[in-house]
Amino acid sequence: MDSHVSLDRDLDLLACPACKGALAWSRAASKGAERELACVTCDAAYPVTSAIASLRIRAEAGGDAPTEGVRAFYTHAPFPGYPPTESLSGLRRKAERSAFARLLDRAIPGDASVLEVGCGTGQMSLFLARAERRVVGADLTRASLELGREAAVRFGIERVVFVETDLRSPGLREGAFDVVYCSGVLHHTADPRGSFASIARLAKPGGFVIVGLYNVYARFPHRMRRALARWTGFRWFPLDPVLTSRSTESARREAWLRDQYMHPLEHRHTVGDVQEWFRENAIDYVRTYPNALIGQEPLEGDELFVPAEDDWGFESWLAQLGWTRSLWSEGGLFVVVGRRRAVSDP
Q: Comparing C-alpha atoms, which of 173, 163, 172 is closest to residue 52?
A: 163
Regarding predicted confidence, which is higher, 98 or 75? 98
Q: Give the strands of the sheet with 45-49, arranged side by side.
A: 23-25, 35-39, 45-49, 52-54, 160-164, 134-139, 113-117, 177-183, 203-214, 333-340, 283-289
Neighbours of 270 (CB within 10 A): 17
61: pLDDT strictly greater than 50: no
Phi-psi region of 206 (alpha: psi -120 to 50; beta: other; left: phi over 0): left
Q: Comparing C-alpha atoms, which of 44, 195, 73 is closest to residue 141?
A: 73
The CA distance from 253 to 250, in Å, is 5
* In the chain, % of residues over pLDDT 90: 51
117-134 pLDDT, tens per residue? 999 999 999 999 988 999
Neighbours of 160 (CB within 10 A): 27
**Domains (ranges, CATH) in the chain?**
51-219+264-340 (3.40.50.150)
Note the pLDDT of residue 205.
97
The pLDDT of 266-279, averaged and rounded, is 95
The CA distance from 226 to 221, in Å, is 9
The CA distance from 168 to 170, in Å, is 6
Cβ atoms of 135 and 160 within 8 Å: the answer is yes
For the entire predicted model, the pTM comes to 0.86
Say which range, 74-88, 91-105, 182-196, has the weakest mean pLDDT.
74-88
27: pLDDT strictly greater than 50: yes
User: Could you tell me which residues come within 8 angstroms of residue 228 by beta carbon, excluding any fewer than 6 positions away?
Assistant: 236, 238
The pLDDT of 297-312, averaged and rounded, is 86
**Phi and psi of 160, rounded to 5°?**
-145, 140
The CA distance from 217 to 94, in Å, is 27
